[in-house]
Amino acid sequence: MALTLAEGAKLSNDVLLEGVIETAIADSPVLQRMPFIEIVGNGLTYNRENAPATAGFYAVGDTWSEDTPTFTQVTATLKILGGDADVDHYLARTRSNVQDLEAAVVALKAKAVQQAFDDTFINGDVSGDAKSFDGIDQACAAGQTLAMGDDGGALTLTKLDELIDLVRGGKPDLLLMSRRTRRSLTALGRAAGSGVVEQDRDAFGRMVQYYDGIPVGVDDYIADDQTVGGSDDCSTIYAVQFGEGGVAGLTGPGGLTVERVGSLETKDASRIRVKWYVSLAVFNELKLAKLTGVRTAEAAAA
């Protein structure tokens, strides 16, 4: 069974761990929505469907043809993500009346883990860093990629609709884009009139934009200086459908954990380790698509 980090936190009796998870998901639209499958072992081997089976009509006495879907076997290996946080004993004793120093230090480390995951979720490339995992930019199939043009172009609602239509088996669960692209989408919504881009509160009580009923997530690790053709000011929009048949996270037993290493020998401090055995799986390529070459209207008109 796959659970989001938010649901997994409800099953924890550790107040510190629950606080770490809440900190990690607070500013991450991906971690708020993506389910994680807990696996035993160091990885998961699964079959990714390449082409579906077909069927047809036959007359009486016809010879039936056999047709089966084709698959590619993919192995996703769990990677080790985390960091250590040292809590100085002197500061903890003398400043604890102002703020819970341990909670503050661990929260900052949890934030760092979340940022590292969000970055890798988009830009991860094992050919450049074998210790990480491939992100959705690498995992997105060529047939699931759209471009605004040979040299990029200004975002249009028609092109965004094309991107959404590339995701099959239902609408995407999330549209991921940069802050600059989100501003462009907002401007397009204003120009088109009410009801195109809407706002509503999410499960955390925050105002979130929706396009065609799909949440719009802002990811600071989607660059606005990508090169497409002769333009070096392009960005990318990703359409993702989450779930065990789409894009899902993989995690070791226990998920995101907090480990108390204990007092250190060389300094007056205690060490707490925030760690996560984690990876990413794309079970069906049709659940992930991207639109490249997104520029601002001003740059495209220049």
- CB of 185 closer than 8 Å to CB of 177: yes
Is the pLDDT confidence value at 214 over 90? yes
What pLDDT does residue 7 have? 56
Region 176-203: mean pLDDT is 88
Region 153-171: mean pLDDT is 95
- CB of 219 closer than 8 Å to CB of 212: no
What pLDDT does residue 243 have? 92
- Higher model confidence: residue 51 or residue 29? 29
297 φ, ψ (degrees, to nearest 5): -60, -35
Which of 140, 151, 133, 125 is closest to 290 using CA atoms? Answer: 140
Is the pLDDT confidence value at 255 over 50? yes
Task: State the average pLDDT for the chain.
Answer: 87
User: What is the CA 121 to chain-centroid distance, rounded?
Assistant: 5
CATH number of 142-242+286-301: 3.30.1930
pLDDT tier at 106 (50, 70, 90 boundaries)? Answer: confident
What the block records as the tokens of 59 is 């007359």
What the block records as the tokens of 273 is 């380790």
Q: Which residue has the tokens 């601002």?
A: 296
Is the pLDDT confidence value at 14 over 60? no
3-state class of 71 per DSSP? strand
pLDDT tens digits for 54-90?
A: 888 999 999 998 888 778 888 999 999 999 988 888 8
User: What is the CA 201 to chain-centroid distance, rounded?
Assistant: 20
What pLDDT does residue 11 have? 45
pLDDT tens digits for 109-159?
A: 888 999 999 999 999 999 999 999 999 999 999 899 999 999 999 999 999
Alpha-carbon distance of 49 to 37, in angstroms, equals 19
What pLDDT does residue 160 have? 97
177 φ, ψ (degrees, to nearest 5): -155, 170
- Higher model confidence: residue 10 or residue 279? 279
Beta-strand ranges (E) seen in 68-206 are 70-77, 79-88, 145-147, 153-154, 174-177, 197-201
2-49+72-134+245-285 CATH, one of 3.40.50.720, 3.60.15.10, 3.40.50.1820, 3.30.2400.20? 3.30.2400.20
Domains of the chain by residue range: 2-49+72-134+245-285, 142-242+286-301
